[in-house]
Structure 1
Amino acid sequence: MTEPPAKKKCLGIGCEKDADLQCPTCLKLGINDSYFCSQDCFKKNWGEHKAMHKTAQGKTQNGILHSIITPKVVSKPDPATGLYNPFPAFSFTGPLRPVYPLSERRTVPKSIPYPDYAESGIPKSERFINRNKFDLLDAKGQDAMRKACRLGREVLDIVAAEIRPGVTTDYLDEICHNACIERKSYPSPLNYNFFPKSFCTSVNEVICHGIPDQRALVDGDIINLDVSLYHEGYHADLNETYYVGDKAKADPDSVRVVETARECLDEAAKLIKPGALIREFGNAIEKHAKSRNCSVIRTYCGHGVNTLFHCPPNVPHYAKNKAVGECKPGMTFTIEPMIALGKYRDVTWPDNWTSTTVDGKRTAQFEHTYLVTETGVEVLTARTPTSPGGPVPMPTVENGTNGT
């Protein structure tokens, strides 16, 4: 799972500065992604910015009131199937819809070690850490991370092998959950800040944190599987985006966004070594994304991971970020760029988890957990020769030229 960065980008026109000053009117209206770098920048952009308030209040033709207030209306279950959309009044940005009811929360045997949030839902240990202190693992800790990440890779590969048109994301969640249990591991997302499932399934326009439900995959979908597990006191974290059926592999836009995301992670990983600055990863990622006419999601970032699911450092994926710190031997962290075909801004569904692109266009993500070594980097969650998925060539259009 991803973690939001400590800073947001300023909404000022042409301003690329980090921002932590939030508009008070936006706070009252429930608009969460509204930040400015300074009072001066806020005042300069007031004329344009106040239009957002009217839109949020439903005073414009494109009012987004339902996008910021959880609808209380729940559609009735289909008499034939019992399935329903729990948020029928919500203004979805794309064609995807949630399909409820969610299955019952899956259980984990007490014999398997639990993280501190497993029962309470609150990761208390993450709330009292020094955000400027980066953990450096000793040899024992590094070996524990290697083991956890190897198991995480096994689980992801098992679930990915089940991807095909007709299976539900809830079925994939069951596969993931059982695979974790078989490896005497706790699925890290389960009840983390009250997340209801054992991993995240993000389809098409979903950026991240998609909740597995009763929707069946269809030929032409793309899906990100985000697996995290807790084994003997250490967390592993990795994800990949996969093509569902042959239609997705034949769609130039789907292939462009998936392969660009894959390549962006590779470009960033090339920089990892002792002394490398955390902020440089975003420069490499955004440069490559822009070369493919794609954008980089800014709301979520990579993070440190070890005995804690999320800890320092924060690893933004966009250029010119102000992330602090440098790589040192013994550090373990994720890089997990989310790349979109359209705009980089995001909208969260009323389930308070599912994050989608603001324009409903497709998005893809890839993630590895890395260990900084004395000489470079070790990819703890690396693919194996038998891992499902992998790069797909850009399909050709009818005139024989590459799709764009």
Structure 2
Amino acid sequence: MNLKISLIEDFGKRNIETTKEPKIKFSRTDIAMAVFGAAVVLSALLSGHIKESFYGVSGFGMGALSITLMILSYFYISRFLITPKWIFHFIVATSIFPIALALINRAGIDLLNMYEQGTDPKYSLYVSTLGNYGWFSEYMAIIIPIAIYMHVMTENVLERILYGIYLILALAAATLCGTNMLMMTVFAVFILVLIRRFLTLISEKDAVRAFVKKSLPWAFVIAVIVYYALVFFVSGHDDMANGRGYIWKLSMDLYKNLPLKEKLIGVGPNRYMYVLNDYLGTRSGLSTFTSRFNNLALTSAHSEYLDYLINTGIIGLAAYIYMIYTVMFSFIREGFGIINKEIAFVSAISYMTYSLCNFSIVCATPMFFIYLAMCVSKEK
């Protein structure tokens, strides 16, 4: 009798244990992403210009709403998306149209009647369907890495041939209507993928992974220091980097003159242009700015990291950088050797590199957050 009661009690306990809902676990990256999101929302709420911070600059739309949606997409994708290989084939295939149109435009043909009367597509700043050639370049910076990885790493001959053809077309478009930064980014990605290919030929993969894990914190700190050293150097030469020297100097001066509260939490997401205009209105350098930009608006600092510094403050920038660090650490620990995660990681690195000299845009930044989610996803 006692045995029966014991068995019944034991079964009951097991049944209760198995019917309990599984605990939701949050990784270090999840927490860092949530902190970054909180910094963005806080910056928007305390900016005094909630509507501007919420939607962002007209035509850009990278305010708190867009950033929050991208963060939510990270949480959903990192938990539930199973990434079949064909997704990457599809992403690359969909980029063929804008690439072909860019090449046609640079041949002097306005196929879709997009340009104003008398504008020669061959020399216009606007190309394909993506707007300014800088936007086209940033879009390509998140697509080309997939093709480079597949061309170098795949063992399928047909895939290698098709991706090779794609790379010829993509690099031709990048050469004719891309930026120097895009070409530098593509070169860096190519070197990174070649290193990954070399690692397939050696047997001590665990030792390499352990070395990279130990070196990552120092490498990350060095990268941040080098970036800001580069910013300070370039900002001392107004015309360097296609005028970014002047823009970065102006941005650093703007940040230095912000009140302490705004230095900490920023002026509001995607509010750089509004604050800069107010700042220039009180300075003697307005005429210099106007002559340089021919009355055009300067909507960003032309470096995503400087943008976050001004828009979300040092707290927002620190949260963003730490979030990126946790993604890299998680990938090295668990994603190395998984093809889908490696493709996403290479593409994310490409975006981060290109963003050193560019800004968040709706046709590229959402894909960056998707890549981050893929890098740390729960799928094996």
Q: TM-score, normalised by structure 1?
A: 0.29
The structure, 1 or 2, with the larger RCO (C-alpha pairs under 8 Å, 6+ apart) is 2
Larger strand percent: 1
Q: TM-score, normalised by structure 2?
A: 0.30
Specify the structure having the higher radius of gyration (Cα). Answer: 2
Larger helix percent: 2
